[in-house]
Amino acid sequence: MPDFDYKEKRFEEDIEEYLIAKGGYEKGNPKNFDRKLALDINTFLSFIKESQSKQWERYEKIYGDDSNKQIVERFCREVKMVGLLRVLRQGFTDRGIKFKAVFWKPETSINANTQKQYEANILHCTRQLHYSLKNENSIDIVLFINGIPVVSMELKCQFTGQSATNAIQQYKFDRAGKDMIFAFKERVLAHFAVDLS
């Protein structure tokens, strides 16, 4: 294995290990990522069904066997119309049923229900995420909340002669804006160029 790969891989491993041990993240599986929709659909559906079971029961009465497909499509349409940040903040509605895409940390722990909802969030740290329908390019680390990619990180290691500047150039010139994960306001909200310093 080339020295470059080893050093950058170790950098990825250290960040992932820290986020899992101290940040409340779970190890994500890049194979669960739907490149066309830029979502981890199974995690998204699991979050909705478990954290908002009453709303989901009502939703299933309307759509039946088509419920999974319909809620993913509704989420994507809403994000396209108003942007991911607004959907994360305010949720989305379909057929009069309001769903949250994330539950924010409550101000206090007095209300057990809001604390339980917050704890239902599913955080994933996914390494080497292949995102494109056209090639096998990958992002070093992507952070997901409830199946939605919100942060990407390109890592560089100065020991190999590269720095955050190289990562910035990679974002500018090697990442196709046509891939859904890079769609402005629709998926990843923050892209970080990271090096050892």
pLDDT digits (tens, 9 = 90+) for 44-55: 999 999 999 999
Tell me the per-residue pLDDT of 135-184, one tens digit each, with 9 for 90 and over: 888 999 999 999 999 999 998 877 777 878 888 888 887 776 788 999 88
* pTM of the predicted model as reported, rounded to 2 decimal places: 0.91
Tell me the per-residue pLDDT of 14-63, one tens digit each, with 9 for 90 and over: 999 999 999 999 999 999 999 999 999 999 999 999 999 999 999 999 99
The residues spanned by each domain of the chain are 3-194
> Within 13 Å of residue 24, how many CA atoms lie on the same side as its CB?
9
